[in-house]
């Protein structure tokens, strides 16, 4: 049921001033005002609201309720059902304090003609309540009704909400259906409801209509102002229960608006990129064949397919924006290398960005192996490179003498300048924010004497769930390597409780005795001093000391973690790669890309503390050399139900694409995709798992709209254009001049 104007007090709705004045501020200014303009919001409460993402009046108006409390059902006290949330109306018979100070208890007996119940407030919750509840006062209480623990047949309400009723007044002062909002420290539901009511009365009519008329008509949606009142003050006829998960129709309107702005921004971002001038790069006819002739393997059909898709993009005079996804160990690196050779053969430069120094160093070794015989100038740039060497690399890069530069975030520094950047490859793209990716791509402007952007290839070994790829990554073309190379074996996965870890160490010894090497991965580098206990998660530093001194004292054990100095980190890595270390105890710094063919065993300590995709990435570090491997996941003693379910899924599933779908179901789209890292707006109303079909339909609406008005320059789309920029922020390129 839609809320009519009768539910919207006309006098209040016209009072737009926050400071008592009579002149209404402009719509933009009123909605953009900080929440401190509302009565009752000082600096401390403003900080508490900011932790919920609420800094302006508009943020407050669009703060989505989690659920709704139904207070319509009013029965005599004796007829109220136990175990339900009820509204009890009666008079205070008596009210008193009991207990010692600091543990004081306030209780009130509430009576009507049918019976009585006791309302109790503990631990200071009676403050602000006790003074209202004088004997004889008529009240309405709302809370969950329980059986009285000490009085047979008695009924009890713990910490109920209280409203005083006037004599003869049959209407409750609060609305019969109340929203329950996401809340945090320093806030209460009563406070949030009051603030929302203030904002509604003053600014609801100022909320701009963002959705195009065609979208509103297609989905039969109310206007923005009407929907706001429905969302925060729903009114329903009759007494039918709301039911589990009930939401007013207005919630669907804002859900659709949120999804429409998401898919419209994705479509716009793709159009902007397609309109940029790029560099046409034909396939390599000299370097690529020379490299392929030297390789001890042939490309798989899946690799060849991905290579062909990338080469077709590189030929175009606009910059490629392609995502290359594939299973752990599926051979993405060689496909990316062949793409880089196409740029190098034309005298252009290529950049390879890795998220960790360990992975960047491994890339450097691979580049030397592959490119050294081809006499292609290349270099490695990380934060650990000595200053004289860094200056030399930067000079060679700026002059064009260095054709391929691999490295970490050091590539993003301002003084890193390319002469002719033609291709950027980013590995584990979810580790980098959208601004970082754009910063590296912009280093190619001016290549060849024109303002042309380089091609961009981003890679991930954490496949994007199929159900999300077309919707959320719709601004990228996607290539998938969905098969492992011949001979690549899937490690056996074994689950063990922490109490059985001796079995894991026995298997480790067997693996090393058979000529293999082993990883032991744990969540933390070092436990905080105040948290060191058997119940706290294991830490690499303490664990390596224990293993060296007791469990693995007869083996050569090394330690690797992200906080080590670069020289120590790389020395340990080289020692393990060259076989001088038999066991590597590490944090998740080994999660991505590390390739040691002789590693056949991994133990993951406190495995329930890792995400599902992260576990799969770690498992991919073993059995890379054609020998069968084993991954033992040790669950902590405190593993909960969710952690055990995650480990069970990990053990039975070895397909990275299926793992991605399970991860989506467990963690939700926001966590899986890293919406902020991807430059996508956060979602408050929509859930991409639940609303994917709707999002796909809305994408068609968005593409149709942009086909008719590519720059949203029509006056009727002015509010939509502004909302798009506001919702996307830095995640959307400049909205153009159109």
State whether 123 and 218 are in the same domain.
no
Domain count, the chain: 4
More confident residue, 9 or 677: 677
State whether 559 and 410 are in the same domain.
no
Each residue of 194-224: pLDDT tens digit? 999 999 988 888 888 999 999 999 999 999 9
**Does pLDDT of 563 surpass 90?**
no
Expressed as residue numbers, the domain containing 602 is: 492-653
**Does pLDDT of 362 surpass 90?**
no
Query: CATH number for the domain including 137?
Result: 2.40.50.140
CA neighbor of 458 nearest in space, from 317, 313, 596: 313
In a domain, 567, yes or no: yes
Each residue of 28-41: pLDDT tens digit? 577 888 999 999 89
**Does pLDDT of 256 surpass 90?**
yes
**Does pLDDT of 735 surpass 70?**
no
In a domain, 204, yes or no: yes
Each residue of 158-171: pLDDT tens digit? 888 888 887 766 66
Averaged over 566-570, what is the pLDDT?
Answer: 83
How high is the pLDDT of residue 296? 84
In a domain, 146, yes or no: yes
Contacts (Cβ under 8 Å, ≥6 apart) of 388: none
> Exposed, middle or buried: residue 188 (CB in 10 Å: 0-12, 13-18, 19+)?
exposed
Contact 142, 160 (CB under 8 A): yes
In a domain, 96, yes or no: yes
More confident residue, 437 or 426: 426
State whether 321 and 447 are in the same domain.
yes
Over the chain, what is the mean pLDDT?
81
State whether 341 and 392 are in the same domain.
yes
State whether 80 and 55 are in the same domain.
no
**Does pLDDT of 592 surpass 70?**
no
State whether 407 and 347 are in the same domain.
yes
CA neighbor of 201 nearest in space, from 3, 2, 7: 7
How high is the pLDDT of residue 531? 37
In a domain, 240, yes or no: no
Q: Where residue 383 falls among pLDDT bands split at 50, 70, 90?
A: confident
**Does pLDDT of 4 surpass 60?**
no
In a domain, 272, yes or no: no
Q: Where residue 428 falls among pLDDT bands split at 50, 70, 90?
A: confident
Q: Which helix (H) or strand (E) holds 384?
A: none
**Does pLDDT of 375 surpass 80?**
yes
Contact 652, 492 (CB under 8 A): no
State whether 497 and 546 are in the same domain.
yes
State whether 428 and 553 are in the same domain.
no
Each residue of 298-323: pLDDT tens digit? 999 999 999 999 999 999 998 998 98
State whether 516 and 533 are in the same domain.
yes
Query: CATH number for the domain including 391?
Result: 3.40.50.300
In a domain, 592, yes or no: yes
Q: How far apart are CA 595 and CA 518, in angstroms?
A: 12
Outline where DSSP puts E strands in 138-266. Answer: 138-147, 155-158, 161-164, 177-180
Last residue of a domain, one of 622, 653, 684: 653
State whether 36 and 54 are in the same domain.
yes
> Exposed, middle or buried: residue 52 (CB in 10 Å: 0-12, 13-18, 19+)?
middle
Last residue of a domain, one of 189, 204, 234: 234
In a domain, 730, yes or no: no
How high is the pLDDT of residue 28? 55
Reported pTM: 0.72
**Does pLDDT of 390 surpass 70?**
yes
Q: Where residue 659 falls among pLDDT bands split at 50, 70, 90?
A: confident
Last residue of a domain, one of 461, 481, 501: 481
The long-range contacts involving 689-695, CB below 8 angstroms and separated by at least 24 positions, are: 689/467, 689/664, 689/665, 691/255, 691/259, 692/467, 692/468, 692/471, 694/255, 694/256, 694/259, 695/259, 695/262, 695/263, 695/471
**Does pLDDT of 46 surpass 60?**
yes
How high is the pLDDT of residue 11? 32
**Does pLDDT of 264 surpass 70?**
yes
**Does pLDDT of 597 surpass 50?**
yes
State whether 472 and 325 are in the same domain.
yes
State whether 561 and 638 are in the same domain.
yes
**Does pLDDT of 358 surpass 60?**
yes
Strand partners, 520: 585, 603
């Amino acid at each position: 049921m839609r809320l009519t104007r009768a539910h919207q007090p006309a006098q209040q709705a016209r009072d737009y001033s926050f400071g008592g004045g009579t002149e209404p501020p402009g719509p933009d200014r009123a909605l953009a005002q900080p929440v401190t303009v509302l009565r009752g919001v000082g600096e401390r409460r403003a900080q508490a609201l900011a932790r919920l993402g609420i800094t302006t009046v508009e943020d407050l108006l669009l703060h989505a309720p989690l659920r709704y409390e139904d207070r319509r059902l009013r029965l005599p006290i004796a007829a109220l059902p136990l175990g339900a949330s009820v509204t009890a109306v009666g008079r205070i018979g008596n009210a008193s304090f009991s207990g010692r100070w600091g543990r004081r208890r306030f209780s009130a007996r509430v009576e009507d003609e049918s019976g009585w119940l006791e309302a109790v407030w503990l631990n200071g919750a009676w403050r602000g309540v006790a003074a209202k509840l004088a004997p004889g006062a008529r009240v309405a209480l709302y809370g969950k009704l329980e059986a009285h623990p000490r009085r047979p047949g008695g009924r009890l309400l713990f910490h109920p909400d209280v409203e005083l009723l006037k004599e003869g007044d049959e209407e409750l002062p609060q609305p019969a259906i109340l929203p329950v909002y996401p809340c945090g420290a320093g806030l209460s539901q009563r406070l949030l409801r009051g603030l929302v009511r203030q904002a509604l009365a003053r600014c609801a009519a100022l909320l701009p209509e963002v959705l195009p008329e065609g979208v509103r008509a297609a989905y039969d949606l109310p206007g923005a102002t009407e929907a706001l009142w429905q969302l925060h003050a729903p009114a329903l006829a009759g007494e039918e229960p709301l039911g589990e998960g009930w939401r007013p129709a207005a919630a669907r309107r804002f859900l659709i608006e949120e999804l429409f702005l998401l898919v419209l921004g994705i479509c716009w971002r793709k159009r902007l990129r397609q309109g940029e001038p790029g560099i046409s790069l034909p396939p390599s006819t000299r370097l690529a064949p020379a490299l392929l002739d030297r390789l001890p393997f042939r490309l798989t059909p899946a690799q060849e397919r991905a290579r062909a898709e990338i080469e077709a993009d590189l030929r175009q005079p606009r910059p490629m924006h392609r995502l290359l996804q594939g299973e752990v160990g599926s051979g993405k690196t060689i496909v990316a290398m062949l793409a880089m050779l196409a740029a190098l053969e034309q005298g252009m430069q290529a950049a390879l960005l890795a998220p960790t120094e360990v992975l960047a160093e491994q890339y450097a070794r691979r580049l030397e192996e592959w490119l050294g015989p081809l006499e292609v100038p290349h270099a490695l740039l990380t934060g650990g490179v000595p200053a004289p060497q860094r200056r030399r690399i930067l000079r060679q890069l700026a002059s064009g003498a260095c054709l391929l530069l691999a490295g970490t975030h050091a590539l993003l520094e301002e003084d890193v300048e390319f002469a002719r950047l033609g291709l950027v490859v980013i590995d584990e793209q979810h580790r980098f924010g959208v601004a970082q990716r754009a910063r590296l791509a912009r280093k190619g402007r001016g290549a060849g004497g024109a303002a042309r952007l380089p091609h961009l290839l981003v890679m991930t070994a954490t496949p994007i769930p199929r159900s999300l790829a077309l919707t959320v990554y719709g601004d990228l073309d996607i290539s998938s390597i969905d098969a492992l190379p011949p001979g690549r074996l899937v490690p056996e996965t074994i689950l063990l409780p922490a109490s059985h870890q001796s079995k894991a160490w026995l298997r480790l010894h067997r693996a090393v005795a058979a000529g293999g090497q082993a990883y032991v991965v744990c969540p933390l580098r070092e436990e905080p001093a105040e948290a060191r206990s058997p119940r706290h998660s294991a830490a690499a530093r303490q664990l390596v000391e224990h293993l060296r001194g007791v469990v693995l004292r007869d083996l050569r054990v090394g330690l690797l973690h992200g906080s080590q100095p670069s020289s120590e980190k790389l020395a340990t890595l080289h020692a393990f790669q060259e076989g001088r270390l038999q066991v590597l105890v590490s944090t998740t710094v080994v999660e991505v890309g590390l390739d040691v063919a002789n590693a056949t065993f991994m133990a993951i300590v406190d495995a329930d503390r890792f995400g599902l995709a992260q576990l799969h990435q770690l498992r991919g570090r073993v059995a890379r050399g054609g020998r069968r491997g084993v991954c033992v996941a040790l669950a902590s003693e405190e593993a909960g139900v969710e952690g055990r379910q995650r480990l069970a899924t990990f053990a039975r599933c070895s397909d990275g694409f299926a793992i991605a779908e399970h991860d989506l179901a467990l963690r939700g789209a926001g966590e899986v995709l890293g919406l902020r890292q991807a430059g996508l707006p956060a979602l408050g109303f929509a859930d991409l798992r639940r609303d994917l079909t709707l999002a796909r339909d809305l994408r068609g609406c968005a593409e149709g709209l942009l086909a008719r008005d590519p720059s949203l320059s029509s006056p009727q789309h002015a509010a939509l254009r502004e909302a798009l920029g506001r919702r996307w922020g830095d995640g959307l390129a400049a909205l153009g001049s159109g």
